[in-house]
Structure 1
Amino acid sequence: MTREDTTGTAGTAPALWPTVDELWSRLEATSRHPGPEGVLLRILKLSEEVGEVAEAVLGTTGQNPRKGITHTWDDVQSELCDVAITALVALRTLTPDALGVFERHLTRLRERPLEPPV
């Protein structure tokens, strides 16, 4: 992904970080739980979203015989997007430098070797 892809100057997709900031602002403006409680609840929202991914995977594979196939892999993709967006908004809730924190962490991950040390 190029820098242009994350800033919205390439393609037609919305710019990632400005959109995260916008979502964060909208949530902050309507929050019923400001302060530390709101931060914790926003982070806890991740668990709910991950659960929805699991539900979609189980629904895609028909693991619940009583329900059968209730989801598609497109549903799983959508739920995974919700997890990613929720995580980025939670990160933005913790710091106004969410982009910098994310980029530094991504750089560390990219530079980390995949093989175990010998």
Structure 2
Amino acid sequence: MRQYGTVLSSLFLLCCSMAAQATICPDPNTTSLQWGEPPAPWAENPFSPNKPQGEEGTQFVRANILVAKYGRGVTCTYKNSIGEYSIWWQVLTKIPARTDNNWIDTLGGYVCTQGLSECQFYVAAAKN
């Protein structure tokens, strides 16, 4: 009976560790963003001032975790010669820990401007 409990505990920990994998915004120079197409499951942000542009030298500007009354999502903002554009992913995310200095608590969510690899977020559950 004890062995059964150990196996069950191990499976639970495995599931939890897989669900808490860190995710970052897509790299504009190595993903389909280099052709102006947001990679799945990301989509063009309808509130973005510009459409995604495939341009060499596009830089990551910031990531935002949006916290609203009815949902959450992540936006990633990039800058090129035309200006800024953003993509978003409607997904439930975990709120960053207060000790995580990369994320700043703002009105309506959190913002990270540290860099592409430093702005890690954790997906809680994907929306269907």
Q: Normalized per residue, which structure has more helix?
A: 1
Question: Fold conserved (TM > 0.5)?
Answer: no
Please give the range of the TM-score, normalised by the shorter of the 2 chains.
under 0.3
> TM-score, length-normalised on structure 1?
0.21
Larger relative contact order (CA 8 Å, sep ≥ 6): 2
More strand by share: 2
Q: Give me the TM-score of the superposition, normalised by structure 2.
A: 0.20
